[in-house]
Amino acid sequence: MIVMSSAPVGIKSVMHEILHSKSGVAGVVILALILLTSLTAVVFPDNIVERWNDPQAWLDKPRLAAPEWTTFFTGENPSRTIIVKIQDFKRDVQRIEQLNVTKIELRARVVYDYDTPPSELNIMINLVSEARSLLSVEWIRPDGSTVELLREVAEPGTKAVFAYIDRTVASNVNAYLQKLGVSQSLPIGVVLFSSEKSLASGVPKLIKSHDVKPSRPYELVVVATSESKGFDVEAQLNLLGVVYGLCGTDNLRRDIFIGIVWGAPIALAFGLVAAFVVTLIQAIFGAISGYYGSKIDEIIQRITDVYLVLPFLSLLITIQFIYKTTIWTLLIAVIALSLFGGVTKSVRSMALQVREEPYIEAAKSYGASKRRILFLYILPRLLPYTFANITVSVPAYVFLEASLSILGLGDPALPTWGKLISEAFSGGAAYYGYWWWIIIPSTFIVLVSTAFALLWYSLDKVLNPRLREE
């Protein structure tokens, strides 16, 4: 039996309870932080979904990179991403009038002092030309040695050279190695970033810019020659690191931090709306059931009993599996499957008690209609409990959405936290140890839950008023 005599009344008192306990304040603070994070997402470009699913948008980020702060713990200095943009290349244009030929040389200088070679070396070249041109790409190390990466006739247009996996580059590098007298095949990254002497000796050693005195940068030289009019060439050099960003990247090069930020408002919105609507509806039914009594009470209670035993998740899984709905249709399905529940029962018993109080009798005696009494007198008494229940049921819905996403049944396009975890699992994160991909989204889910758990703890009084006798 829930004794109501000392229960706080009204939403204000619930806020009061929350703000006056240490855990409540902690919970509110965490939530506020997460809310702020979600606000940034809203301020971001509004084609989030497209960008998230567009591989082109992420080309300048490394794949499966760990977060940068991990270097603090390992003490190493692994490669970070260095991007030499188009405008940072040194241009040198030569025109040989007699032959009507233009030669453009682009030079990029990169000071490289990391302990490991970059995870990828990618060169984007854009040739503006009416005809073919002669293209050569050379790589110069701090020790002065040169490796020719490409020498070929190229069509106009954009060309992306993923040096580590490009076949032409590979064969050129092999030719270089053979000239040095090295018989074993080495990864291209190792070749490009080891000193020539060490390569020749058979024990490749990474050479940093500062290993040479005075320090010399690595250089990329792109030379394009063409006869055509209006000929131009631009290049961008991506040295992708092994670590990146606050939360690392996933297998599609997406910055997980951005995924988290974009996922925050979705998680919160879903949880809040679901919790609010479901709890409110259940409470209203509970109040009606308790107040009106007799037949209506019976019917509502029987329906509630059936609802309580329904295999909620199985049904949702079936729905999602067959119809693959978006997150908002999912929300409607969740609400439909939760119209009656535990809150209905407990609010009903509270309503039964309030119904017996003398001022209700008084209101009846001066002619107030049943509906008026229900809404003006009874429901306000039930508000604190309802409100508290809304608060503590939010995480359940956040997790529900995450659970469905993990099973691959969530919204197919949105970057929700559950989706991140699901992709991590199918991308073998647990197996290969890409822990950040799993742990970081999970941590955020846990944070939200903990925030609400703290709120729950501080609202214990409202949720269990009978237990606070002294």
Partner 1 sequence: MLSKSYLAKRASLLAITLIVATYLTVVIANGGGLVDQILANQIRFDVTSTLVRDPSFNRLSEAEREKLLEQRIELAIHAKGLDQPFIVRSFIYLVDALTLRLGQALVIKSNTGSRAVIDIIVERLPATVALFTTATIIYSILGILVGLVMARKPGGFFDRFMTMLAVITGVIPPWFFAIIFLLIFAFYIRLFPFGGFVSVPSPTDPLLYAIDVMFHMVLPLITWIIASFPFWAYITRNIVIQTIGEDFVTMAKAKGLSQSAVLRRYVLRPSLPPIITNVALALIASWQGAIITEVVFGWPGIGNLLNLAILSTDAPVVIGAAVVYAYLLVATVLILDIIYTVLDPRLKVG
Binding residues for partner 1, rule: CB under 8 A, are 23, 302, 305-306, 308-315, 317-319, 321-323, 342, 392, 395-396, 399, 403, 406-409, 421, 430, 433, 435, 438-439, 442, 445-446, 449-450, 452-454, 456-457, 460, 464, 466-467, 469
Burial status of residue 107 (CB atoms within 10 A of its CB: 0-12, 13-18, 19 or more) = middle
Query: 258 with 267: CB under 8 angstroms?
Result: no
User: In the complex with partner 1, which residue's Cβ is closer, 162 or 457?
Assistant: 457
Using alpha carbons only, give the angle 2, 359, 348 rounded to the nearest 5 degrees: 35
Task: Give the residues across from 151 on adjacent strands.
Answer: 136
Distances (CA, A) of 103 to 58, 89, 96, 326, 403: 32, 15, 8, 54, 58
Q: How far apart are CA 400 and CA 420, in angstroms?
A: 14
Nearer to partner 1, 192 or 398 (CB): 398
Please report the sign of the dihedral spanned by the C-alpha atoms of residue 205, residue 210, residue 211, residue 215: positive
H runs (alpha helix) in 135-166: none
- Least Cβ distance, residue 427 to partner 1 (angstroms): 14
Residue 453 CB, shortest distance to partner 1, in Å, is 4
CB of 315 to partner 1, least distance (A): 6
Say how far apart CA 412 and CA 327 lie, in whole Å: 9
Shortest approach of partner 1 to residue 314 CB, angstroms? Answer: 4
Q: Nearer to partner 1 by C-beta: 7 or 192?
A: 7
Nearer to partner 1, 34 or 137 (CB): 34
The nearer residue to partner 1, 310 or 362, going by C-beta atoms, is 310
Quote the least distance from Cβ 21 to partner 1, whole Å.
12
SS3 424: helix
Nearer to partner 1, 18 or 319 (CB): 319
Q: How far is the CB of 252 from partner 1 (least distance, A)?
A: 19
Q: Between vectors from CA 306 to CA 300 and to CA 310, what angle results, nearest 5°?
A: 140
Separation of alpha carbons 291 and 349, rounded Å: 9
Length of the chain: 470
C-alpha distance from residue 385 to each of 116, 285, 350, 382, 461 (Å): 58, 14, 9, 6, 10
Our CB check for partner 1 shows the closer of 209 and 304 to be 304
Q: Which residues of 303-321 are buried (b: 16+ CB within 10 A; e: fewer)?
A: ebeebeeeeeeeebeebbe
The smaller minimum CB distance to partner 1, of residues 251 and 325, is found at 325
How near is the Cβ of 39 to partner 1 at its closest, in Å? 24
CB of 311 to partner 1, least distance (A): 5
